[in-house]
Amino acid sequence: MRKSRLVLAPAVMLASAALVLSGCAAAEEEATTDSGSTTTETTDVAETYEVYALLPQGSDQAYGTFYVPAMEAAAAELGINLTITNSEYDGDKQASECEIAVAAKPDGIILWPAVGDAVRPCLEAAEAAGIPVTVTNSDLFDADKALSRGYSGPDTYGQGVSSAEIMCELVGDAAVSIIQLNGAAGNSTAIDRDNGFTDTVAANCPNVTILQEESTDWTKATAQQVASEMITAQGIENIDGIYAADDSIAAGAIAALEARGVVAADYFITSIGNTFLGNPLVIDGSLDGTVFQSSSWDGENATRLMYDVLTGVIAAGDREVKFMPSVKVTAANASDADVAPEW
Amino acid sequence: MAKETFTQAMSVAPEPQDAKNEKQKTSFIAFIADKGIFVFTIVLVLTAVFFVDGFASLQNVTDVFHRAAPIGIVALGMTFVVITGNYLDLSVVAQAAAAGVILIAVSNAYNLIVAFAVAFVVAIVFGLVNGIAVGYFKANAVIVTLATTYIGLGLLRLLSGGSQVFGPADGPIATFGTSKLGPFPYSAVVLVVVTLILTFVLTKTNFGFMIRSFGTNSSATRLAGTNTGLIVIGAFLVTSMAAMFGGFVLAAFSNTAVSNMASGFDFEALAAIIVGGTSVFGGKGSVPRTLLGVVFVSILSNVLVLVQVSYGLQQVAIGSLIVLAVTVDALGRRVSKK
Amino acid sequence: MTNQSVIKVGSTATGFFGKLKTVLARRTEGRAVALFAIIASFVTISQPLVFTAYQVTLGRIALIGLVALGLTAVILMGELDLSVASTLAVSGVIAVTVANQTNMLIGVLAALAAGVVVSLINAFFVAIVGINSFIATLGMLFALRGMAFVISDEAPVKLENTDLGIAFGQPLLGPLTPRILIFFLIFIAIQVFVSRVKAGREFLAVGGNRQAAYDAGIPVKRRIFTGFIISGVVASIAGIVNAVERTSADPTSGSTVLLASFAAAIIGGNYLKGGKGSIVGTLIGAASLGMLQVALTISGIQIPVQEIFIGAILLIAVITDPSSLRAVWGSLSTTFQGIKNSLVNPAREKGSAPSIGNKTNERGN
C-alpha cells in the first residue's frame, strides 16, 4: 500500500540520516574542537578540570545573578572549565540536564537541586559513571547524602530557625500575632524556611500566633499586594508583626504597612537575606532582623568544594559540609562591613 | 461616523456586516451571555461587601485597584490582538518586564526622559516584529509571540544582568507609585485613561473599525481592499504600548523591577479579556468589557486572599471561572443563532 | 490500449519516482526535515556529543515529544489542548500519592483514570457546549494546576518505592530507557491510528473542514472526544513517567513542556487551524528541538543567549513556512503594484499611497 511507503519514507530517511551522522560523529570526535563555544571538549593538561554545574536559577533571579559570577571567578582562578545550566526550578529539565552531564563525562558535577525529592536518579547515575557530585545551596535529603561528596551553602531550614529566634527574642513572653509571607508555592527553599520558622516558633515562643500565611513569588510587588490584603483580612489592629521568607518580601510587606500610614518600626518584622533591599531597612529600623545570605560565598564555595574533591583534599568516602554562616543581622550589626549586602 | 454613547460603547461591538443582530435580548440565556458579566460582578461585589470583613474599606478598594492596574492595562491593549482573532500575545510577559526594568535602570543611570524613550523604542520593535510576522508572514501568533518572548527575556537578562533594580526611595517613580488622586492610586487613573483612549480608538476611529471588521470576517476585509497586514501590526503595536505602560505602573508600585516580574501576565490578561466577554473567535468584544473582566478577576483574587483560600484553590477558582464564563458565552451565542 | 473516453483528472505520474514525487508533494513535513537536517549538521560539527551520547538526546526528545504527540492528535482536528501541562502534573501527583498508599500499579491506573476524566471534561466543553478549545483548556490549565497543588499540599510528593523509580530510569533495551521505549510505542500507536484506522484518518477531515466533515457523515463530536482522550492520556502517561523516574511528583512540573510541545508540533509542519499535518512531523519537530536544546546545554553558552537562540530559530522556522512566504510575497507584490500604479498614473489613482483602510487596488487583490 502506498500509505505504508508514506510512513516508511521519512522514517527511513530519518534513520539513515541518524546512522550516517552518528557514524560521522564517532569518527570526528577525536579530531573535533568546537570553535563556537566557551568550553572545549578536549582535556589537554591535567590542571584543567571539566565540571558541570546544574543550577535551577541564574540571571533570571536576583540571587543567581550574583551567585554565578562568583562561581565562575573561582573556577577561572582554580583552572576549572565550567559548563553551567539553568533548569528554572523544573525538576524534569534538571534531570535531563543531569543525563547530559553524565554523558559528557566531566571530572565533576556540582548540583543545586531544583526539586530535592527528585535528584536521586541523577546522583545514582553519576555514581555509576564514577563522577563525583558536590551539592550547593540546598542540601540533599539524608537518605541521598551518601551519594555526594560534600555540601556547601546556606542551611535553609536553619535560616528559618534563625529568623524565628530573632523574632522570639524580640517578642519575649508577650502574646503576639503575626502574619507570614512565604516564598513561591512548591519551592524547596520556601518550604524549608517555612518549616524552620514555624517549628522554632512552636517550640521556643508558642506565645506567637501565626494568623495567616500566604505564598508569594519572591517579588516585592506581589508581597506588597498580598500583605496589604492579609492585613485587611486580619484587621490591622490585630497584627503585631510579620515574618517574611525573604527581604524583598519583607520590603513589600513594609511598604504595605506604610501605605496605611502606620510606622513599620512599631511592628515585629523579621526576614531572611540581608539584601540590598533589606539591609537599609534594618538600619532605619523598619525591619527588625534578617539573616545574612551571601550569594557570592555560595557560588564561590561551590567551586572550591568541588576543587577540593577533585584534588583529593577530601578523601574518598568522606563528605564535607560547609555551612554558610547564618549571621543574624539586626540594628546592632547591620552597618558592619562583614555583613554588607551582596544581592 | 455616528456618535456613540458610552452605553453603546459598553455593548458588544456591532458586527460590521450584520446590523440586524443588534437587538437580541429576547432570550434569557442570551441576556446572561451578553450582560452576564455585569450581573456577576455586581453579585460578587455585593456578596463581598456583606460577607467579607474588610472588603468595603477604603484601603481594600485601593488594593483592588493596585491589583487591577498593571494587568488591566496590558489586557486592555491585548484586546486588540484578541479581537483580530489572533488568540493572544504571549510576549507581554517580556515586554512589561523590559519596560519596568528599563524605566528604573535607565532613569537611575541617566534620567526619566531617556528611560521613556528607550522603553518606547523597545516596545515599538516588539510590536513591529510580532505584527509583521503575524500580519505579513501570516504565521501563528502563539508561536511567534512565544519566540519573541524567549528572545526578549533572553536579551533583557543578558543586558540587565538579571538583577533586581530599584529606584531611589524619593524619586519620581516611587512618588508616582504611592500617590493618589482622592481614593484612586495614580495607577488606577492610568488604567481609566487607557480605557478611555483605547475605547475611542476601537469604536470611533477608522483603524478601530478595521480591527473589528478584520476579526469578524478577515477574508471579507481583505477583499474590501484594506491592508490587513497593517491592521495586524497596528493591533500588536497597541498591545506593545499597553504592555509598556503596564510595566511602568508595576515597577512604580514597588519601586523595583526584575526580569521575571511580569510572569503570568499573558494568560492572566487573556483570562480577564475572556471573562469580560470578548470572543477568542475574534470580532466580538470591546475595551470596556475587558476592563470589567479585569475588575471582576481582580476583585475575585482579592476576596480569595481575604477569606484565606489556599494558593491551590485560588488557581482552581480562577480556572473554573474562565470555563464558566466561556460556557455562558457559548450558550448565549448558540441560543441567539437559532 | 487506453480507452479514449478516460478523463485524466489530477496527476497521472507514473513510475516509482513519479508517484513518490506526488506523494511527497502532499506531505507537510518537508520543512521539518529540512530544519532537522540543518540543525543536525550544525550540531554534528559543533557538539558531536549529542550523537555519541544519543540515548541522552533521545531522552530529552522523549521528554518534550511525548506530550507533543498527544497534542498533535488534537491539533490535527483544529483544536488545542493547553491543559496538558497541568494534566501531567496532576497525574504525577496522583500516581505517587496513590502508589504510596497501595502499590505502583494501582497508582498508575488511578493517574490514567484521572487523565481520562480530564480529557472527557475538556471534550465535553469543546464538543457539546461548543466553547473554543483554546479557552476551555486554558481554564482547565489553571484549575488542574490548582488541583495538583491542593492534592500534594503544595510540596513535591516523594515516591516511597525509590528503587522502582531508579530502576525505571535504567536502560531497558540496549541503551534505551523505558521513557524512550514508551515514547516510541506511543508514536507508533498514534501514527497507526491516524493513518490506518478509519476513526483516526477522519481527524484530518474534521480539522480541514468541520462542516464538510459533518456533511460527509463523520461523527465529529465522537472524534473530538477521541482526540482529547488521546491528548489527555498521553499527558497523563508523561506525568507518570516523569514522576516515577524522578522518584517524586512535583506539582509545579510541566510548565516548560507546554510551549515546547506546541513548538515541536508547529516546527513539524502541523497547522494550528487543523486539517494539515502529521504525527511524523511532530516527531521530527521534537527531534530537532531536543537536539538543539542538548547541544546548547553542552556548549556552555550563557543561558540567556541560549534562549535567544531558541527563540530566533522558532521565529525563523515559523516565518519560513511556505504559506507564510507566499503570503509575504503576495503582500509585497501587491504593494509594489500599488506603488507602480500610483507612480505611473498619479491622477487616476484615488488615495494612492497605501494606508490603513484606504488602499485600493485595481486588481482587487
Taking only the tens of pLDDT, chain A with its 343 residues reads 333 333 333 444 444 433 333 333 333 333 333 333 344 444 444 578 899 999 998 877 778 888 999 999 999 999 999 999 988 888 888 888 898 898 888 999 999 998 877 888 889 889 889 999 999 988 888 888 888 889 998 888 888 999 999 999 988 888 899 999 998 887 778 888 999 999 999 999 999 999 999 988 888 888 999 999 998 888 888 999 999 999 989 999 999 998 888 898 889 999 998 888 888 888 888 899 999 888 888 999 999 999 998 888 887 778 888 888 778 888 888 888 777 887 7
Subunits adjacent to chain A (3 or more Cβ pairs under 8 Å): B, C
Contacts of A106 in chain C (CB under 8 A): none
**Sign of the C-alpha dihedral, residues A134, A139, A141, A146?**
positive
> In angstroms, what CA-CA distances link A307 with A79, A108, A150?
9, 9, 11
> In angstroms, what CA-CA distances link C250 with A36, A98, A145, C358?
36, 17, 21, 55
User: Is the same domain home to A137 and A75?
Assistant: yes
Closest CA in chain A for residue C162: A120
Asked if A129 has any chain C CB less than 8 Å from its own CB, the reply is no
Contacts of B320 in chain C (CB under 8 A): 139, 143
Rounded mean pLDDT of chain C? 81
Q: Which of A217, A225, A276 sits opposite B67 (nearest CB)?
A: A225
Asked if C312 has any chain B CB less than 8 Å from its own CB, the reply is yes
The packing angle between helices A2-29 and C178-195, to 10°, is: 150
User: Is the same domain home to A178 and A53?
Assistant: no
What is the rounded CA–CA span in Å between residue C258 and residue C82? 7
Determine whether the interchain pair C301/A86 forms a contact, defined as Cβ–Cβ distance below 8 Å: no
Q: Do B276 and B10 touch, CB atoms closer than 8 A?
A: no
Place of cell 512548591: A186
Contacts of C131 in chain B (CB under 8 A): 323, 326-327, 329-330
How many CB atoms within 10 Å of residue A209?
12
Cell of B91: 510576549
Identify the residue with better confidence: B185 or C300: B185
Q: Pairing mode, if any, of strands A320-323 and A150-153?
A: parallel
User: Is the same domain home to A124 and A191?
Assistant: no
In the chain, the amino acid numbered B74 is V
Q: Is residue A148 part of a domain?
A: yes
Question: Could you read off the pLDDT of C162-214 as tens digits, one per residue?
Answer: 888 888 878 888 878 888 899 999 999 999 998 888 888 888 888 888 888 88
What pLDDT shows up at residue B218?
62
**Element holding C270 (H helix, E strand):** none
Q: Which residues contact B158 (CB under 8 A, 6 or more apart)?
A: A59, C302, C304, C305, C308
Confidence of residue C362 (pLDDT cuts 50, 70, 90): very low
Determine whether the interchain pair C298/A191 forms a contact, defined as Cβ–Cβ distance below 8 Å: no
Asked if B49 has any chain A CB less than 8 Å from its own CB, the reply is no
What is the rounded CA–CA span in Å between residue B223 and residue C83? 37
Q: Which of C148, C304, C319 sits opposite B158 (nearest CB)?
A: C304
What CA dihedral angle connects B191, B192, B198 and B203, to 10 degrees?
Answer: 150
Give C8: exposed, middle or buried? Use CB within 10 Å, 0-12, 13-18, 19+.
exposed
What pLDDT shows up at residue C139?
85
Q: Which residues contact A249 (CB under 8 A, 6 or more apart)?
A: A181, A183, A216, A218, A220, A223, A271
What is the rounded CA–CA span in Å between residue A60 and residue B158? 9
How many CB atoms within 10 Å of residue C307?
23
SS3 C246: helix
Q: Is pLDDT above 70 for B26?
A: no
User: Is the same domain home to A165 and A268?
Assistant: yes
Per the structure, how many domains does chain A have? 2
In the chain, the amino acid numbered B247 is G
User: Stretch C82-99: mean pLDDT, rounded?
Assistant: 92
Q: Is residue C309 part of a domain?
A: yes
Q: Is residue C70 part of a domain?
A: yes
Question: Could you read off the pLDDT of C21-45 as tens digits, one per residue?
Answer: 766 666 777 778 888 888 888 888 8
Q: Is residue A77 part of a domain?
A: yes
What pLDDT shows up at residue B222?
63
Q: Do B173 and B107 touch, CB atoms closer than 8 A?
A: yes
Identify the residue with better confidence: A15 or C60: C60
Q: Is residue A180 part of a domain?
A: yes
Identify the residue with better confidence: B97 or B59: B97
Query: What percentage of chain B's residues is helix, strand, coil (to nearest 5)?
Result: 75, 0, 25
Determine whether the interchain pair B319/C143 forms a contact, defined as Cβ–Cβ distance below 8 Å: yes
Determine whether the interchain pair A229/B158 forms a contact, defined as Cβ–Cβ distance below 8 Å: no
Identify the residue with better confidence: C115 or B285: C115
Q: Is residue C16 part of a domain?
A: no
What is the rounded CA–CA span in Å between residue B166 and residue C75? 44
User: Is the same domain home to A163 and A279?
Assistant: yes
Q: Pairing mode, if any, of strands A133-136 and A108-111?
A: parallel
Determine whether the interchain pair C311/B149 forms a contact, defined as Cβ–Cβ distance below 8 Å: yes
What pLDDT shows up at residue C22?
67
Q: Name residues 164-193 of chain C within 8 A of B (Cβ).
A: none
Contacts of A58 in chain B (CB under 8 A): 162
Q: Is residue A336 part of a domain?
A: no
Determine whether the interchain pair A34/C46 forms a contact, defined as Cβ–Cβ distance below 8 Å: yes
What pLDDT shows up at residue A20?
38
Asked if B99 has any chain A CB less than 8 Å from its own CB, the reply is no
Could you give the domains of chain B?
60-337 (1.10.3470)
What is the rounded CA–CA span in Å between residue B213 and residue B219? 10
What is the rounded CA–CA span in Å between residue A51 and residue A64? 18
What is the rounded CA–CA span in Å between residue A163 and residue A138? 18
Cell of B246: 503596564
Report how many helices (DSSP H) and strands (DSSP E) chain C contains, helices first: 16, 2
Core vs surface per residue C96-105: b (16+ CB within 10 A) or e: bbbbbeeebe
Helices (H), chain A: 2-29, 62-78, 91-104, 120-128, 156-171, 188-204, 220-234, 247-259, 278-283, 295-310
In the chain, the amino acid numbered C171 is P
Place of cell 499535518: C277
What pLDDT shows up at residue A10?
40
Place of cell 505602573: B249
The packing angle between helices C84-101 and C133-152, to 10°, is: 30
Place of cell 500509505: A3
Question: Could you read off the pLDDT of B197-224 as tens digits, one per residue?
Answer: 999 988 888 888 888 877 766 666 665 6
Q: Is pLDDT above 80 for C226?
A: yes
Contacts of A100 in chain C (CB under 8 A): 53, 56, 60, 294, 297-298
Identify the residue with better confidence: C120 or A45: C120
Q: How far is A258 from chain C (nearest CA, A)?
A: 31
User: Is the same domain home to A62 and A178?
Assistant: no
> In angstroms, what CA-CA distances link A226 with A218, B174, B191?
12, 19, 20
Q: Which residues contact B19 (CB under 8 A, 6 or more apart)?
A: none
Q: Name residues 85-104 of chain A within 8 A of C (Cβ).
A: 85-86, 88-93, 95-97, 99-100, 102-104
Query: What percentage of chain A's residues is helix, strand, coil (to nearest 5)?
Result: 50, 20, 35
Q: Count how many pairs of residues, chain A against chain C, have C-beta atoms within 8 Å.
A: 176
What pLDDT shows up at residue B210?
82
Q: Is residue C15 part of a domain?
A: no
Asked if B268 has any chain A CB less than 8 Å from its own CB, the reply is no
Closest CA in chain B for residue C258: B146
What pLDDT shows up at residue C114?
94
Instruction: Enumerate chain A positions whose Cβ falls within 8 A of a Cβ in B.
Output: 58-62, 64-66, 185, 212, 214-215, 217, 219-221, 224-226, 228-230, 232-233, 235, 248, 251-252, 255, 259-260, 276-277, 343
Determine whether the interchain pair A228/B59 forms a contact, defined as Cβ–Cβ distance below 8 Å: yes
Question: Could you read off the pLDDT of C124-170 as tens digits, one per residue?
Answer: 988 888 877 887 888 888 889 888 988 888 888 888 888 888 888 78
In this prediction the ipTM stands at 0.77
Q: Name residues 235-294 of chain B within 8 A of C (Cβ).
A: 267, 270-271, 274, 279-281
What pLDDT shows up at residue A271?
92
Question: Could you read off the pLDDT of B116-174 as tens digits, one per residue?
Answer: 999 999 999 999 999 999 888 888 888 899 899 999 998 998 888 777 788 887 788 88
SS3 A33: coil
Q: What is the CATH number of the domain that holds A250?
A: 3.40.50.2300
What pLDDT shows up at residue C25?
64
What is the residue range of A168's domain? 157-292
Q: How far is C320 from chain B (nearest CA, A)?
A: 8
How many CB atoms within 10 Å of residue B227?
25
Q: Is pLDDT above 90 for B51?
A: no
Question: Could you read off the pLDDT of A187-232 as tens digits, one per residue?
Answer: 778 888 999 999 999 999 999 999 999 988 888 888 999 999 998 8
What is the rounded CA–CA span in Å between residue A99 and residue C284? 22
What pLDDT shows up at residue B314?
82
Confidence of residue C80 (pLDDT cuts 50, 70, 90): confident
Q: Is pLDDT above 80 for B18?
A: no
Q: What is the CATH number of the domain that holds C121?
A: 1.10.3470
Q: Which of B140, B229, B320 sits opposite C143 (nearest CB)?
A: B320
| Phi, psi at B162, each rounded to 5° | 85, -5
Count of CA atoms in the C-beta half-sphere (13 A) of B163? 16
Q: Is residue A19 part of a domain?
A: no
How many CB atoms within 10 Å of residue B211?
29
What pLDDT shows up at residue A275?
85
Question: Could you read off the pLDDT of A3-29 as tens digits, one per residue?
Answer: 333 333 344 444 443 333 333 333 333
Asked if C134 has any chain B CB less than 8 Å from its own CB, the reply is yes
The packing angle between helices C255-267 and C84-101, to 10°, is: 130
Q: What percent of chain C has pLDDT over 90?
A: 21
How many CB atoms within 10 Å of residue C124?
16
Q: Which residues contact C69 (CB under 8 A, 6 or more apart)?
A: C183, C186, C187, C190, C234, C279, C282, C283, C286
Q: Name residues 187-246 of chain A within 8 A of C (Cβ).
A: 187-188, 191, 215
Length of chain A: 343
User: Stretch C247-275: mean pLDDT, rounded?
Assistant: 83
User: Is the same domain home to A163 and A266?
Assistant: yes
DSSP secondary structure letter of residue C128: I
User: Is the same domain home to A57 and A149?
Assistant: yes
Determine whether the interchain pair B315/C146 forms a contact, defined as Cβ–Cβ distance below 8 Å: yes
Q: Do C327 and B136 touch, CB atoms closer than 8 A?
A: yes
User: Is the same domain home to A168 and A282?
Assistant: yes
Q: How far apart are the first and last CA of chain C?
A: 46
What is the rounded CA–CA span in Å between residue B25 and residue B12? 12
Q: Is pLDDT above 50 for B24?
A: no
Nearest partner of C60 among C171, C211, C156, C183, judged by Cα:
C183
Q: Is residue A16 part of a domain?
A: no
Preferred mutation among C170, C187, C298, C310 to probe A, highest tally of A CBs within 10 A: C298
Q: Which residues contact C158 (CB under 8 A, 6 or more apart)?
A: A117, C96, C247, C248
> In angstroms, what CA-CA distances link B49 with A236, B42, B53?
18, 10, 8
Closest CA in chain A for residue B177: A259
DSSP for A183-196 reads: SSTT-HHHHHHHHH
What is the rounded CA–CA span in Å between residue A238 and residue A241? 9
What pLDDT shows up at residue B282?
65
Contacts of A72 in chain C (CB under 8 A): none
Determine whether the interchain pair B163/A62 forms a contact, defined as Cβ–Cβ distance below 8 Å: yes
Assign 3-class secondary structure to B228-277.
HHHHHHHHHHHHHHHHHHHHHHHHHHHCEECCCCCCCHHHHHHHHHHHCC
DSSP secondary structure letter of residue C154: T
This prediction has a pTM of 0.79
Helices (H), B15-57: 28-51
**Element holding A129 (H helix, E strand):** none
Determine whether the interchain pair B164/A214 forms a contact, defined as Cβ–Cβ distance below 8 Å: no
What pLDDT shows up at residue A18?
39
Q: Is residue C170 part of a domain?
A: no
Determine whether the interchain pair B254/A235 forms a contact, defined as Cβ–Cβ distance below 8 Å: no
Q: Is pLDDT above 50 for B301?
A: yes
Cell of B27: 432570550
Q: Which of A3, A7, A124 sits opposite C166 (nearest CB)?
A: A124
Preferred mutation among A88, A220, A275, A284 to probe B, highest tally of B CBs within 10 A: A220
Subunits adjacent to chain B (3 or more Cβ pairs under 8 Å): A, C
* Distance, CA of A318 to chain centre: 24
What is the residue range of C152's domain? 54-165+177-315
What is the rounded CA–CA span in Å between residue C103 and residue C105? 6
Per the structure, how many domains does chain C have? 1
Cell of C200: 483516526
Q: Which of B62, B163, B166 sits opposite A65 (nearest CB)?
A: B163
